[in-house]
Structures are given as structure tokens and as C-alpha cells.
């Protein structure tokens, strides 16, 4: 793999991290779920050991959430390319909601390239405070 190809994968995966936050804040749940591979899985920062598996189940979990206004700020995004079809990543997250103190946490991601492009194979959040 060339440096240019590696950088392209890093950019594609970092874009997923940012797009996830933007779509989540916009309440576009079908679009958020579409960022996962069909068999992808997620664990929310508030429950990092409770997995929701499969794109349909992920969409159902988002649709079941009570409505709220949020603003996610993601930074310190580092993507490690494992191959031309796999990568991992870590990012810091700051979540603002209309109530309470901001939450600080992180995401640990596994990415896969499928026919539709790069998607989350696994997205695991955790809260620092």
C-alpha cells in the first residue's frame, strides 16, 4: 500500500467519525445506522459493555431514544490502517445536551471496507467523566 492510499483510508475513516456526530446531532437515525456494516455493532458510551448488533437493531435502538438536542464534538482522531479493507481508530468525544454538565468520553472503532465503502464494523463508546 502506498502512503497516498494509506492517507486516503485514514481520511475516509476520519470522515465517518465526523459524519456520525453530525448525523446523530441532526437526528438522522437511518443515515447514522447506514454508516455501519450490515453486521456492525455498537456500544453506547453510557453502556460500553452492552452491544447492539446488526444495522437494523442499531437503527431500532436510535429510533427508541427519547428526543433530545445534542452537540457532539469529536477530536484527537487517530486512524490506524491495518490493510486495504480494515482499520481501527480512536477519538475523543465531548457531548453537550440541553441539560446537565457536558460528558467527556471516547470512541474506539473498527472499520471495514464493504461494497458501499468504509463503514463501522464496531463502535464502542466510553465515558471518562
Nearest to 13 by CA among 63, 79, 71: 79
Q: Where are the domains of the chain?
A: 3-127
pLDDT for the residue numbered 99 = 81
Q: Which residues of the chain have pLDDT under 50?
A: none
Its sign, for the CA torsion 18, 25, 74, 110, is: negative
Query: For the whole model, what pTM was predicted?
Result: 0.94
C-alpha separations of 96 from 2, 10, 29, 48, 111 in Å: 39, 27, 18, 19, 26
pLDDT for the residue numbered 120 = 98
46-80 pLDDT, tens digit each = 999 999 999 999 999 999 998 889 999 999 999 99
pLDDT for the residue numbered 102 = 94
Class of domain 3-127: alpha beta
Q: How many CA atoms lie within 13 A of 16 on its CB side?
A: 31
Amino acid at each position: 500500500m502506498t502512503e497516498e492510499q494509506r492517507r486516503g483510508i485514514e481520511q475516509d475513516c476520519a470522515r465517518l467519525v465526523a459524519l456520525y456526530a453530525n448525523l446523530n446531532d441532526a437526528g438522522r437515525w437511518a443515515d447514522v445506522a447506514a454508516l455501519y456494516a450490515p453486521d456492525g455493532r455498537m456500544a453506547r458510551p453510557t453502556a460500553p459493555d452492552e452491544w447492539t448488533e446488526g444495522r437494523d437493531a442499531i437503527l431500532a435502538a436510535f429510533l427508541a431514544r427519547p428526543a433530545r438536542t445534542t452537540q457532539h464534538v469529536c477530536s484527537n482522531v487517530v486512524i490506524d490502517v491495518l490493510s486495504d479493507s480494515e482499520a481501527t481508530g480512536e477519538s475523543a468525544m465531548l457531548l453537550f445536551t440541553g441539560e446537565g454538565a457536558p460528558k467527556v468520553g471516547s470512541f474506539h472503532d473498527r472499520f471495514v471496507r464493504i461494497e458501499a465503502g468504509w463503514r463501522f464494523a464496531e463502535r464502542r463508546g466510553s465515558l471518562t467523566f
